[in-house]
Amino acid sequence: MRWAEDKDIVKGMVEKTVKSYDPEAKTPLILHTLSVNWDDDKQFIEKLYKKAANLEAKFKDLVAHNTRNWEVDRLPLTDRMILEMAIAELIVFPNIPVKVSMNEYIELAKNYSTPKSRQFINGILDVIAKELKESGDVKKSGRGLIDNR
């Protein structure tokens, strides 16, 4: 644990552990876990990382084509990484709704990038998501998802 956010996570885990402790139950005190299913979370993280790190040129070009007033090399690295991760998530995970992915990456921009990045990421992702849907690269089906069969 190294980031300032980790303090809040650990505090939450300790609070949940203390609240759930029943001294009369005579069971040992067990610290609540950070994740309900770490194996699934780890698979998700690894798959997202690999896809984003090796994103195909046609998907990287989407960022360049939709940032007309900016050269991609001049974008803050954090913004470029957020956009590439979002694209990877949109195309690789059919069970995550587009709006959920977009909201998560907008939040990342808000918390970890420049003050204006939130609006920038929102606008660019909105256009990119529409292009990915139209091209058939985003295939979502099921309740609450887009159906692109």
- pLDDT by residue (tens digit) across 41-50? 889 999 999 9
CA–CA distance, 40 with 33 (Å, rounded to integer): 14
Kindly report the CA angle at 34 between 29 and 36, in degrees rounded to 5? 95
**Contacts of residue 85, Cβ cutoff 8 Å, sequence gap at least 6:** 48, 52, 105, 108
Q: What is the pLDDT of residue 38?
A: 79
Domain boundaries for CATH 1.10.940.10 within the chain: 47-149
| CATH code, 47-149 | 1.10.940.10
Separation CA 32–CA 36 (nearest Å): 9
Q: Quickly tell me which residue has 């505090």 as its tokens.
A: 11
In the block, residue with structure tokens 């939709």? 66
Model confidence at 147, pLDDT cuts 50, 70, 90, reads very low
Which pTM was predicted? 0.74
Helix, strand, coil share (%) of the chain residues, nearest 5? 65, 0, 35
What is the distance between the alpha carbons of residues 32 and 143, in angstroms, rounded to a whole number?
31
What pLDDT, on a 0 to 100 scale, did the predictor assign at position 72? 64
- Give per-residue pLDDT as tens, 27-43: 887 777 777 787 898 89
* Mean pLDDT along residues 55-78: 82
Among 54, 74, 69, 65, CA closest to 127: 65
- Residue 80, pLDDT > 70, answer yes
Q: Which two tokens stand for residue 136?
A: 């058939």
